[in-house]
Amino acid sequence: MRRVFITGLGFITSIGNTKAAVEQSLRELRHGMARYPAFEADNSPVKITAPVREFQTDAEDPEDWVIPAPYTIKREQLRSLAPNSLYAACALQQAIADARLAPEDVSNENTGLYAASAGSPGILARQVNRMNQLGVMRCPPLGVVASIAGSVQFNLVSYFKIKGASTGFASACAASAHALGFAFDEIALGRQKRMFVIGAEDGNRETILPFASMRALSLNTDPDTASRPFDKRHDGFVGTGGGTVLVVESEDEVARRGATPYAEVLGWGQASDGHNIAISHPEGLGLAAAMRRALASAGITAADVDYINAHATSTPIGDASECKALRSVLGEQASRVAVSSTKALTGHGLSLAGAMEAGFCALALKHGFIPGSAHITELDPACDGLNIVRTTEAVQPRIALNNSSGFGGANVCVVLKAP
């Protein structure tokens, strides 16, 4: 098995569109929540989201979107992009520059791309409306590849001339963690030398508000407290969108290029709840199993872990379930290991979450800090026995875990180590 490293990062997120801005937000606990015009309709009880800044992608026609410098996208590429693919394309440009990859490093048979996104329900709805009202032959020719699940890798693989392995992951909120796990496997098994791992979501009305009737979203109208995982008054998640890209490379490539890794990926694990389509297992059994497998895959024990970036989305049931899983796996280490949910700052990015939070862990491992769990005024008693850190601490973690859980009870845990 070859060793695997994260060597480049790109972020388009609610807490920053560069890695420097993201790190500053994590250190200063600056959140990205805001009231959102598209949620202002009277029939929406949900008012807060964590929008991507500087971009404007609510217009129906991508040619009306605002795309900030330094990004420019030609019309022939723009026409097949949903907001998620646009954010992913910009984050991938950043990540390629950050990893100092030459064009030949990006486009070759040993470099692949795994993406996670749930498609673009907004664009799909507009297409179907158009088809019903104006006729089948009046739909944009590239509407399919702009909207269906998979549109992120379809667009980016062609746009960036990727020639290695490519596919997409659709395990909802665990999807980009799955993408990272399987990208790790590709490299560890020697099938690829380099993988781009991408999570991306539109983060607009059509991707977020469908969670409202499920009672999964926070109805809190105060941007400063709407997302508060582990707080006693947490009442649902706040949705977000954006794109994150991790460049993952084999140790041989790291040595050949003289790259400076952010972190090593030691291993990963996954397991399913076998319980309910949308509700976490009440005892967190699936997540606990995923964490144990991840530790075994990495060849470490709970005693080696310094920090866990929890999945905790700020829903009472989900947060409590994860707390049980954490206590079960950490055992006597539970009161020592620092745990936080950065979703208090970013909101919940759904398919984006796993890659985005693995990226946060990579920054923390590289630059020596542990991000705090913001917005907790009174800790939920469900967190008893755990070390939920409320402020960002300037201590160097050696090993970090990143948890993700998705619909159907899919759970993924990824183990990262300081370089």
Partner 1 sequence: MAETLTSACAPVLAPSVKSSVLDDEAVLRESLRRCAPSTVEAALAYRSTGDTSQLPAIILGIFERFVEPDLRPRLAGESDDLRVIEDLGLDSLTMMEIVMLVEEVTRTRIENEELRGLVTIGDIKTFVECRVRGVPPPAPAKTVLGDEVRAIMPIQAPFLFLDDARVGPSQATASYRITGQEFFFAGHFKDNPVMPASIMLEALGQLGVLHLLAGLPVDEGKVVDASTIFFASTDGVRCARVCKPGDVLTLTLKPKRVKAPLAVYTGTIRVGQEKAVSVEEITLTFGVVDAPTAAPAVSMTQS
Q: Which of 231, 227, 233 is nearest to 348 (CA)?
A: 227
Among 3, 53, 79, 275, binds partner 1 (CB under 8 A): 79
Q: Does 38 bind partner 1 (CB under 8 A)?
A: yes
Stretch that binds partner 1, among 36-44, 147-155, 246-254, 350-358 (CB under 8 A): 36-44
Judged by beta carbon, residue 21 or residue 38, the one nearer partner 1 is 38
In the complex, minimum distance from the CB of residue 129 to partner 1, in angstroms, rounded to a whole number: 5
Q: Does 43 bind partner 1 (CB under 8 A)?
A: yes
Q: Does 66 bind partner 1 (CB under 8 A)?
A: no
Among 30, 37, 129, 384, binds partner 1 (CB under 8 A): 129
Residues 6+ apart with CB under 8 A from 229: 310, 312, 313, 314, 319, 341, 343, 344, 373
Stretch that binds partner 1, among 121-129, 217-225, 256-264, 294-302 (CB under 8 A): 121-129
In the complex, minimum distance from the CB of residue 41 to partner 1, in angstroms, rounded to a whole number: 7
- Tell me the C-alpha to C-alpha distance, in Å, between residue 261 and each of 61, 143, 243: 39, 38, 21
Q: Does 214 bind partner 1 (CB under 8 A)?
A: no
Q: Does 136 bind partner 1 (CB under 8 A)?
A: no
Stretch that binds partner 1, among 130-138, 146-154, 170-178, 257-265 (CB under 8 A): 130-138
Among 1, 125, 214, 303, binds partner 1 (CB under 8 A): 125
Q: How far apart are CA 268 and CA 188, in angstroms?
A: 12
Q: Does 65 bind partner 1 (CB under 8 A)?
A: no
Would you name the residues annotated as active-site residues? 173, 311, 348
For the beta carbon of residue 71, count every other beta carbon within 10 angstroms: 16
Which amino acid does the sequence have at 55? Answer: F
- Tell me the C-alpha to C-alpha distance, in Å, between residue 37 and each of 41, 88, 292: 8, 23, 43
Q: How far apart are CA 288 and CA 311, in angstroms?
A: 12
Among 69, 74, 332, 381, binds partner 1 (CB under 8 A): 74
Judged by beta carbon, residue 134 or residue 317, the one nearer partner 1 is 134
Judged by beta carbon, residue 65 or residue 233, the one nearer partner 1 is 65
Q: Which of 172, 145, 209, 184 is nearest to 349 (CA)?
A: 172
Stretch that binds partner 1, among 69-77, 173-181, 220-228, 373-381 (CB under 8 A): 69-77
| Per-residue mark of binding to partner 1, 148-187 (x: CB under 8 A) | ----------------------------------------
Provide the sign of the torsion angle of the four alpha carbons 116, 54, 228, 213, taken in this order.
Answer: negative
Q: How far apart are CA 298 and CA 278, in angstroms?
A: 29
Q: Which of 384, 388, 401, 405 is nearest to 287 (CA)?
A: 405
Q: Does 72 bind partner 1 (CB under 8 A)?
A: no
Among 66, 134, 214, 296, binds partner 1 (CB under 8 A): 134
Stretch that binds partner 1, among 86-94, 135-143, 252-260, 305-313 (CB under 8 A): 135-143
Judged by beta carbon, residue 119 or residue 409, the one nearer partner 1 is 119
166, 208 in Cβ contact below 8 A?
no
Residues 266-325 that bind partner 1 (CB under 8 A): none
Which residues face 167 on adjacent strands?
A: 114
Q: Does 122 bind partner 1 (CB under 8 A)?
A: yes
Q: How far apart are CA 403 and CA 339, in angstroms?
A: 11
Rg (CA), the chain: 20
Residues 6+ apart with CB under 8 A from 245: 8, 9, 10, 88, 91, 92, 94, 95, 196, 197, 198, 355
Which residues are at the interface with partner 1 (CB under 8 A)?
A: 38, 41, 43, 60, 63, 74-76, 79, 122, 125-126, 129-130, 133-134, 137-138, 140-142, 205-206
